[in-house]
Structure formats: structure tokens, C-alpha cells
Chains A and B, each alone.
Chain A
Amino acid sequence: MPAEAGAKITHPPVSPEKSAGFKDKDMQAVIGWILRTGVFVSTAFVITGGIIFLVNHGHSQIDFASFNKVPDFISHIKGVIQGVIHLKGQAIIQFGIVLLIATPVFRVLFAGIGFLIEKDYLYTFISTLVLLIILISMISGHIG
């Protein structure tokens, strides 16, 4: 990559912490908290749902080789939430899984907000772009 041949760093390459109130350090703390809480809460749902599922269906026979698609009642988010209210094991697991998938997405969202507070507009844009790609992925999965 000759076009990118480097120039010597003249100042510390750390990003300038422009805003006095909110710094990269605070962002690290917030992101750490989101990730930890997200994993903890979603795993709690998965374990709870798993116990209910095994108590109710532990002895049912399932041929995991030939089954196709998830049960109808949890194939859409509305059904999952209704299932959670009615304490259906598989719905509670699925709800936990949805929360788990959402965790890193929330991490991107909050990093984007953090960059906005830092007035780092380039990285606010980059965060938005990542969110947009995930959104497109979500929509395409639905349509196709």
C-alpha cells in the first residue's frame, strides 16, 4: 500500500478528548456495563425458559435431524412475547436469545451516542452506518 505510506506521528495519536464532561473512559465504562448486563439478563431468561421447557417437555421425543423451522408460536416476536406472558418455556428461551442478539446492537447504539456527546461526528456517522447495516440485515431476513 504505497499510497498509504506513513508519516511520523508528531503528537500522541490518542483521540483528543474534546468534551470535558464525557470522555473515552466513561464510554468504556458504559459499554462494559451494557455488555455485562445484556449477557446476564438474557442468560437468566434462557436458563429459566430452559428449566420450564425441560419440566414440561423433557420426555417428549424430538427427531432433531428432520425437523424444520421453529415452532409456529415463536416464529415472530409477537408470539414470543405472548408465550413469555403465558410462561411457555421455548418462548422464554427465545426471548432471552433475542435480548442476547440485541446486546451488541445496543452497544453500537450507545457508542454512537457517546461519540455524539464527544462531538466526534465522524464516528457518530460510522456507528450509524453499522446500525444501518444490521437493520438492512434484519429487514432482508424478513422479506426474502
Chain B
Amino acid sequence: MSVIVFTVIVLLGSYFAGLLGSLTGLGGGFIVIPLLTLVLHVNIHYAIGASLVSVIATSSGAAAAYVKEGITNIRIGMFLEIATTAGAFTGAILAIYIPAQYIAVLFGGILLVSAVMSFRQLAERTVNQQSYLARKLKLGGNYPVNHEIVEYGVTNVAGGFATMILAGVISGLLGIGSGALKVIAMDGVMRIPFKVSTTTSNFMIGVTAAASAVVYLQRGYIHPAIAMPVVIGVLLGALSGSKILVRAASSGWIRKIFAIVITLIAIQMIYNGITGKI
């Protein structure tokens, strides 16, 4: 395959990955890595390296917008980044020693879980309780809802921290943002309002991915010929996605289609992993 054909295919595929990733909130890595490995037969380590770089681009771009709105809780983000960066470092080191086919199977498994999770019913709620650790770490905050300032407290800091270590390991191992798991840690475990959880998760994804990307970079797993079309494609796709999201109020049917596609890809990844084709 010539360089130009490869670049065009990856560029188009990454654009759709970024678009779908942004519409569903799952991120672009979920489609980019299967595209590179299953369709174009790129070694999974290089696919992960390219995906990580695109994850940094999209999350930083989105975080720049969110942080100005004052919804992102920078203190919660910074504190939990201790967990996610340590996890990401561990994940990146593990990825180097784990054979490609095990990574593919694990990737498929996480993909299946995420497809199921994307159907979770989400309810906005706030707690007024603040645990001891949360008070010591000044984690509580406020955010604007319809021109009103809503105060919220934070609980179960230790549980959230532990979940974030896992989110970091998965991010470093599989090259995805693992935003869904970060939101579960904050929204589900620490009882942080959903809107604050999602924006703060986005804020943390870039640093988490950077912590493992430096390992991939120095191991020579970030190849410019692969990363270039992936980064540009995913970023443009995510930009389009954010524009559509503003217009279309309900994206329920997109989620359903995405969940089916994700499930099929996941099965394919697991099958190829087990049969050693990856």
C-alpha cells in the first residue's frame, strides 16, 4: 500500500471515529484502534501510540472550552490525576511486555463493557454531604445551572481514587481515554454531579494520556506516518461532532447504532486476539 492511500483511508476512518466518539462521549480511540489493527493490519502497539496522541488533542481542545465555563473542578481533577498518571505509567509499561493478542482480547472486553455502559440512565444529582478527606482536600465546589450557582459536596474519596488508578492503567494499556470509567469514579463513586464529572473527566484525560504517551514515544511506538492522519482526522471529527451535538437534542438512535457497531468490533477484536491474527 502506498503512503498516500494509507493516509487517506486512516484520515477518513479517524474522522468518523472522532465524530462518533464525540457524539457518544466514548472517544475516538474505540474505533481508530480496530480500524488500524483489523482493517489495515498495523501492529497494535503503533495503533495505541497514535490513538493516545489523538486522545490528547481532542480532550485538550474540549477541556479548553469547558474550563472557561467554570464547570470543571480543577482541584478534583488535579488530585485524581495523581491516580490516573500513576496508573497510566503502569499501563504503558505493562503494554510493552504483554503480547499483542492479549491486548486485543482485553481491548474487546473493555469495548463490550463500554457499549453496555453507554445505555446507563443518567440522573443529575448533588450531595450536600462532604466527607472528611474531601473537606481536607477542598474538593467540593459549585457550578452554574441555568444562571444559578449550585453547591455540591464530594464523598468516598478513597473509592474514587482507586477507580481512577484502574482508569489510568486501562488508558495506558489500551490507548483510549477511558473517560467512561473516569465518569463512573466521579459520578458513581464520589457522588459528584454528572456535568462536573464529565467535564472534569475530559480535563484529566489529556494528562493521563500524556503520562503513557511519553513511554510509547520513547519506545518508538509513535510513528509520524500513522499518528499524523489519526490526529488530524479524529480532531476534525470531534469538532464536527461538537457542532452537531448542539443542534440535535436527542442522540438516542446514534447511541443505539454505535452500541451495535461497538459490539461487533469488540467480538472481532476478541476473535482475532484468540486466534492469534493480531
Decide yes or no whether B171 CB sits under 8 A from chain A: no
Contacts A60-B3, A62-B1, A103-B60 known; A137 to B224 CB distance under 8 Å? Answer: no
Decide yes or no whether B213 CB sits under 8 A from chain A: yes
Secondary structure call for the B interface: helix
Complex: chain B residue closest to A131, CB-CB: B85
Complex: chain A residue closest to B133, CB-CB: A4
Instruction: State whether A93 touches B227 (Cβ < 8 A).
Output: yes
Partner of B75, one of A59, A60, A123: A123
Contacts A50-B228, A100-B56 known; A13 to B153 CB distance under 8 Å? Answer: yes
Residues in chain B near residue A123, CB distance under 8 A: 75, 78-79, 138
Instruction: State whether A97 touches B67 (Cβ < 8 A).
Output: no
A67 to B40 alpha-carbon distance, docked (Å): 13
Instruction: State whether B232 touches A64 (Cβ < 8 A).
Output: no
Decide yes or no whether A21 CB sits under 8 A from chain B: no
Residues in chain B near residue A133, CB distance under 8 A: 82, 85-86, 89, 211
Decide yes or no whether B119 CB sits under 8 A from chain A: no
Instruction: State whether B1 touches A126 (Cβ < 8 A).
Output: no
Complex: chain B residue closest to A55, CB-CB: B4
Instruction: State whether B68 touches A62 (Cβ < 8 A).
Output: no
Decide yes or no whether B142 CB sits under 8 A from chain A: yes
Instruction: State whether A101 touches B78 (Cβ < 8 A).
Output: no
A33 to B64 alpha-carbon distance, docked (Å): 7
Instruction: State whether A57 touches B3 (Cβ < 8 A).
Output: yes
Instruction: State whether A46 touches B157 (Cβ < 8 A).
Output: no
Residues in chain B near residue A103, CB distance under 8 A: 56, 60, 206, 210
Instruction: State whether B157 touches A130 (Cβ < 8 A).
Output: no
Decide yes or no whether B242 CB sits under 8 A from chain A: no
Decide yes or no whether B140 CB sits under 8 A from chain A: yes
The interface on chain A, measured as residues whose beta carbon lies within 8 A of the other chain's beta carbons, has a size of: 79
Complex: chain B residue closest to A102, CB-CB: B210
Partner of B224, one of A43, A53, A61, A65: A53
Instruction: State whether B57 touches A6 (Cβ < 8 A).
Output: no
Instruction: State whether A7 touches B74 (Cβ < 8 A).
Output: no
Give A121 Cβ to nearest chain B Cβ, in Å.
Answer: 12
Instruction: State whether A64 touches B42 (Cβ < 8 A).
Output: yes
A105 to B56 alpha-carbon distance, docked (Å): 11
Decide yes or no whether B25 CB sits under 8 A from chain A: no
Give A141 Cβ to nearest chain B Cβ, in Å.
Answer: 4
Give A55 Cβ to nearest chain B Cβ, in Å.
Answer: 10
A72 to B142 alpha-carbon distance, docked (Å): 50
Residues in chain B near residue A101, CB distance under 8 A: 53, 56, 210, 213-214, 217
Instruction: State whether A90 touches B224 (Cβ < 8 A).
Output: yes
Residues in chain A near residue B215, CB distance under 8 A: 137-138, 140-141
The residues of A with any CB-CB pair to B shorter than 8 Å are 1, 3-9, 12-15, 24-25, 27-29, 31-33, 35-36, 38-39, 42-43, 46-47, 49-50, 53-54, 57-65, 67-70, 74-75, 89-91, 93-94, 97-98, 100-105, 107-108, 111, 120, 122-123, 126-127, 129-130, 133-134, 136-138, 140-142, 144
24 A-B residue pairings within 8 Å (CB atoms): A4-B131, A4-B132, A4-B133, A13-B141, A24-B74, A29-B68, A35-B60, A36-B61, A39-B60, A46-B228, A50-B7, A70-B222, A70-B224, A74-B224, A90-B225, A97-B227, A123-B138, A126-B82, A133-B89, A133-B211, A134-B85, A137-B88, A137-B211, A144-B96
Q: Which 6 A-B pairs have the closest CB atoms?
A: A13-B140, A6-B129, A141-B218, A104-B206, A93-B224, A35-B64
The residues of B with any CB-CB pair to A shorter than 8 Å are 1-4, 6-7, 40-43, 46, 53, 56-57, 59-61, 63-65, 67-68, 70, 72, 74-75, 78-79, 81-82, 85-86, 88-89, 92-93, 96, 127-135, 137-142, 151-153, 155-159, 206-207, 209-220, 222-229, 231-232, 235
